[in-house]
Amino acid sequence: MRVRNRKRGVTYVEVVVASAFLAACAATVADSLAFSMRNISYAQRRSIIQAYVQSVVDATRSSTLTALPADSTSTTTVTLVRSRTVTITKKLTQVTGLNLTLLQVSATWQESRGSRFFTDSLIYEVYLRGPDNA
């Protein structure tokens, strides 16, 4: 005699377990998408700030072609990228006895991850050579 497989119905517990599993999967996917979107926007913000700092370095480098600048420190506050306030500090220090100036450009800004805030920064240090006749 053959035993036929009977179709059995889905129990209420199986439906609850399956829906809980699917909800957990959906929440995980949503969290990972939100995390990657935050990281993408953070990377974009950082690259824009990095480009701005690089332009400050390039402008200072081109101005040293005629004469070495004196020791100085200047601080500028600019608003970049989604109203983030970035503090740019440019410091020039002459290297004694050499035809060099140390250029330090730093950018500092506030970032937030959920309810936590932290300070992020970029620092560039470049030795600039003055004109040969200086």
Please write the tens of the pLDDT for every residue from 81-98: 666 788 888 898 888 778
In a domain, 104, yes or no: yes
> How far, in Å, CA of 106 to CA of 109, rounded?
10
Q: Does 71 score more than 70 pLDDT?
A: yes
> How far, in Å, CA of 78 to CA of 95, rounded?
29
How many folded domains does the chain comprise? 1
pLDDT at site 85: 80
Tell me the residue range of the domain where 34 lies. 12-129
Give the pLDDT mean for 71-81: 79
